Chains A and B, each alone.
Chain A
Amino acid sequence: MTSASVHSRFFRAIRKHYVLYLLCIPGILFFILFRYLPMWGILVSFQNYNLWLGFWESDWVGFAHFTRFFTGPNFNTLMVNTLWLSFLNIAFAFPAPIILALLLNEVRRQWFKRSIQTLIYIPHFISWVIIGSMTFMLLSSGGPVNAILGNFGIGPIPFLTSVSTFRPMMVVQGIWRGAGFGTIIFLAALSGVDMEQYEAAIVDGAGRWKQCWHITLPALRSVVILLLILQMGSVLDTNFDQIILLSNAGNRTVSDVIEVFVFREGIVGGNFSFTTAIGLFQSVIGLILVIIADRAAKLVGESGIF
């Protein structure tokens, strides 16, 4: 087949379904204007970008900003702290909504299930600033948690300013705020399961555990793997709002992460090229991890995302 005939077939298809293609135009324009064109902006990470001179007049500096970041005194600490939080997030915060969704799925009384669902969504709508203040009130040295521990002769424990308590607090806050809302997508996947499968399993003598293991969990598998692959893309991203409110001098050695550093040096100092370089580094690592995770998923027979 010649390329000319491919072309003519392409144009014939457009002529035939031109209304459908017209319908696409706003969407295509959106992606070109707001997703693809701005990508040229990553070039400023190889410049000493000067707002006044603009993109064309600014000096090119090659990999200078990357070198400064990688060889900086904080690089190792920042990477280790960021990866630790991401790991804990995947190990604990990621499975939490799945477990919650499974539990909700077993609730037979609809009114009870729906009230619980509504209640556990609420924390998602509370801002991190409020959560930060609540955490301070609960865990401060004169707060209720230390008062209760004091009755047992423990403490007071300086939860807020200790190195060892920072990561658990991050995980607990994250689960408390996000797990309930995260169940939505899993409950939606579960609602698609054919009820006849459960009925057949009951006829075959399967108990609750066996039903869960052989029907419910396999139904969730592709959603879980899909979300896990996407999660890999943000391994170097952390929740800035949450961290900035929970970090302080007492836990700085474990709470200093890439995004806080970017805020301190880049945004406050107006150093756009340096922050763009760090952002590009984060994206490249994320992309590599997504591709690896996708290949791994395909190896075990899942469909992946590409």
Chain B
Amino acid sequence: MKTSKKILLLVVGVLALALFAACGRAEDPAPIATPEPTAAAETEAPATTPDPVDEVEDELDYTISILTISHSGELISVDHPAIQQLEELSGYNIELDMILNANFAEQMNMRLAAGDLPGIVVITGNTLPIVQAAQGGALWDLTDHIPQWENLAGVNPDVMNNVSIGGRHFGIYRQRPVGRPGMVYRSDWLEYLDLAVPATLEDLFNVLVAFTENDPQPNGGNTYGMAWTGAHMGPFHDLAVMHGAPNRWEVVDGEFVPWFEHEGFIEALEFSRELFALGAINPDFAALPPGDWALQFGAGLSGWHMDVSDEARRSANRLRDNEFMTQEEVDAGEMVWVMGTVANRHGESRIRAHAGHAGYVAISTTGAPTPEDLQHHLAFLNAINSPQGQNIVSWGAEGYNWEMVDGRVRIFTPEEVASGMDVVEGLNQFMMRQNHVLPLYGVNSREDAITEVQLTNIQWAVHDPSLALMSDTWTAQSGTLNQIIDDAVILFVMGTLDMAGFRNEVARWYAEGGQASIDEFTAALAAR
């Protein structure tokens, strides 16, 4: 009896301990990677490092912690030569704290609430909690510091405005191409039908109809022009901007005017409605699951795809997987090509510009409490944005992951990379500026075309003027408001709504927060 009671007590004790241990783990996420100087010294390959590692270790007495994103869950080791090179370049120890992309926003909010942020923080967007935290003093205001650092001073002011909060800059943007939109198409279908690459919207219309009526897929069946999905109306908004409509908002005499009031938008509506009636847009696009959207082009069903220019690469791979293309054709850059835009009836070329960033990299006041800490962190950001730093975070360690050939970066093949030395993605998640990133060596002509489209697009880019401004109503209700317009567009294109019905939905948009957003944006612009 006595022993069984003791065993019972033991069981209870273990259970209680397990519960506490579980709680402790949930509330106190330990940094995933911590630097171990001795281990680093042991595994460092001596041949390519000019300085003895021990000496370098002595200089590194200040540690910079970085909260960043991992897409794969495979973490880069702090012993990796790329990290070592960044440490040598900046003169600081590096500690990485990585969170899976799927959980990042949620974890970020929790860490923010707990006041538990490291010095360098990747911010993916100005959500309401981030805005409140920044204005409450969670992040250092870098507006006056940025111009004082060599590699930070030349940042693009437009993109900086797009990530600003109330006109103040709380970080350096994570650069993305402003001219990223692009139209991917089947050049072999154009050849087969003896059609030229469209130069105007009218040409584009005719090509889409020809792709539908003449079924140019050599060994396939029924084809059509281009696929849409009701869950993501990007292609329509691209078309509207091409027709002359603004990118979301237009500022007329200091007043914000929404995009659907422009005649270009109405022209795009009629253009799309006609295409739909002719079968050139997939009949069930309103209900097509967003995940199946790009697959339509990849399965040889449609011949035109309006999305981002780099979709050309993935589209070619999908067509290869579906046996419409051989690997040789993929490598040779045949059959699938990409272009930026076509001219509208006024002869203008226009592109719906992207915001130019994927959030920004900020310095937190909890991880860097004093002004001296701030200077250390700024020095670190300055080093990462140097030409050498940018190429390390982009491509990995020179000599381990890539080498320079003709001023371009030749990435080592998997066989050439020593085991465990391949660059684990995630390093580039805290990359900021990309103005010194070297181009790739030995890529096919399609890759060069993608780069060229993104560069030429910049001159035609139409920017969204609201990105640099704040409207509380818009922040809270843009989801519902955008959906009213997108739904009305879908129903008009399908022929369910007529123009009067469309105007009714627009009236609902104004009544349910649209007018309030206009007033707030206009006031915010006037306050500038």
Tell me the A residues contacting B by CB distance below 8 Å. 19, 22-23, 25-26, 29-30, 33, 50-54, 73-74, 129, 132-133, 136, 140-142, 158, 160-161, 245, 248-250, 252, 261, 264-265, 268-272, 274
Contact = CB atoms under 8 A, between A and B. Distances in A.
Contact of A250 (B130, B132, B494): B494
A264 B483 contact: yes
Interface stretch (B15-23, B86-94, B143-151): B15-23
Given A73-B512, A265-B480, 16 more contacts: A22-B12, A26-B15, A26-B16, A51-B129, A52-B132, A73-B511, A129-B289, A132-B289, A133-B292, A161-B494, A245-B289, A250-B494, A268-B479, A270-B128, A270-B129, A271-B128
Interface of B: 5, 8-9, 12, 15-16, 19, 23, 109, 112-113, 127-130, 132-133, 136-138, 230-231, 283-284, 286-289, 291-292, 475-480, 483, 486-488, 490-491, 494, 496, 508, 511-512
Nearest to A72: B512
Contacts of A73: 508, 511-512
Contact of A141 (B283, B478, B480, B490): B283
Given A53-B132, A73-B511, A270-B128, A161 B287 contact: yes
- Indicate the member of A25, A245, A252 with the most B CB atoms within 10 Å: A252
A199 B128 CA distance: 68
Contacts of A33: 23
A129 B291 contact: yes
A249 B487 CA distance: 5
Contact of B113 (A22, A54, A249, A271): A54
A25 B292 contact: no
Contacts of A25: 12, 16
B287 A136 contact: yes
Given A26-B12, A269-B475, A249 B112 contact: no
A140 B284 contact: yes
B8 A23 contact: yes
A26 B19 contact: yes
A247 to B, nearest CB: 9
A271 B19 contact: no
A298 B446 CA distance: 73
Among A33, A245, A270, A271, chain B packs the most CB atoms within 10 A around the CB of: A270
A248 B287 contact: yes
Shortest Cβ-Cβ A-B pairs, 9 listed: A160-B287, A249-B490, A52-B133, A270-B128, A264-B479, A249-B487, A52-B136, A270-B127, A51-B129
B508 to A, nearest CB: 8
Contacts of A272: 129
Given A19-B5, A30-B19, A136-B292, A51 B287 contact: no
A132 B129 CA distance: 33
B16 A141 contact: no
Nearest to A161: B286
A30 B127 CA distance: 33
- Kindly name the residue among A50, A133, A245 whose own CB sees the greatest number of chain B CB atoms within 10 A: A50
A160 B289 contact: no
A51 B112 contact: yes
A201 B288 CA distance: 56
B9 A249 contact: no
A22 B16 CA distance: 10
B132 A51 contact: yes
A250 B286 contact: yes
16 contacts: A33-B23, A51-B112, A51-B113, A51-B132, A52-B113, A52-B138, A74-B512, A158-B284, A161-B287, A245-B289, A248-B230, A248-B286, A250-B287, A265-B479, A269-B475, A272-B129
Contacts of B287: 136, 140, 160-161, 248, 250
A183 B19 CA distance: 34
Nearest to B482: A264
Q: Which of A53, A161, A261 has the most CB of B within 10 A?
A: A161
A54 to B, nearest CB: 7
**Which of B286, B478, B508 has the most A CB atoms < 10 Å from its CB?**
B286
B462 to A, nearest CB: 25
Nearest to A48: B132
A248 B488 CA distance: 11
A128 B133 CA distance: 36
Contacts of B284: 136, 140-141, 158, 160-161
A50 B136 CA distance: 9
Contact of A52 (B8, B112, B230): B112
Nearest to B132: A50
Nearest to B488: A249
B480 A264 contact: yes
B291 to A, nearest CB: 7
B289 to A, nearest CB: 6
A139 to B, nearest CB: 8
Contact of A29 (B19, B109, B291): B19
A66 B112 CA distance: 26
B18 to A, nearest CB: 8
A161 B132 CA distance: 40
Contacts of A158: 284
B470 to A, nearest CB: 13
A53 B136 contact: yes
B8 A19 contact: yes
Contacts of A52: 112-113, 129, 132-133, 136-138
Contacts of A132: 289
Given A51-B132, A136-B289, A269 B127 contact: yes
A56 B488 CA distance: 43
Contacts of B127: 269-270
A33 B138 CA distance: 29
A250 B230 CA distance: 10
A250 B490 contact: yes
Contacts of A19: 5, 8-9, 12
A141 B279 CA distance: 12
A133 B15 CA distance: 44
B230 to A, nearest CB: 5
A2 to B, nearest CB: 33
Contacts of B8: 19, 22-23
A147 to B, nearest CB: 13
Contacts of B19: 26, 29-30
Contact of A265 (B283, B292, B477): B477
Contacts of B508: 73
Contacts of B137: 52
B289 A133 contact: yes
Contacts of A248: 230-231, 286-287, 490
Contacts of B479: 264-265, 268-269
A265 B15 CA distance: 41
A136 B288 contact: yes
Contacts of B488: 249
A269 B12 contact: no
Contacts of B16: 25-26, 29
A250 B9 CA distance: 62
A102 B487 CA distance: 45
Nearest to B486: A249
Nearest to A29: B19
Contacts of A74: 480, 512
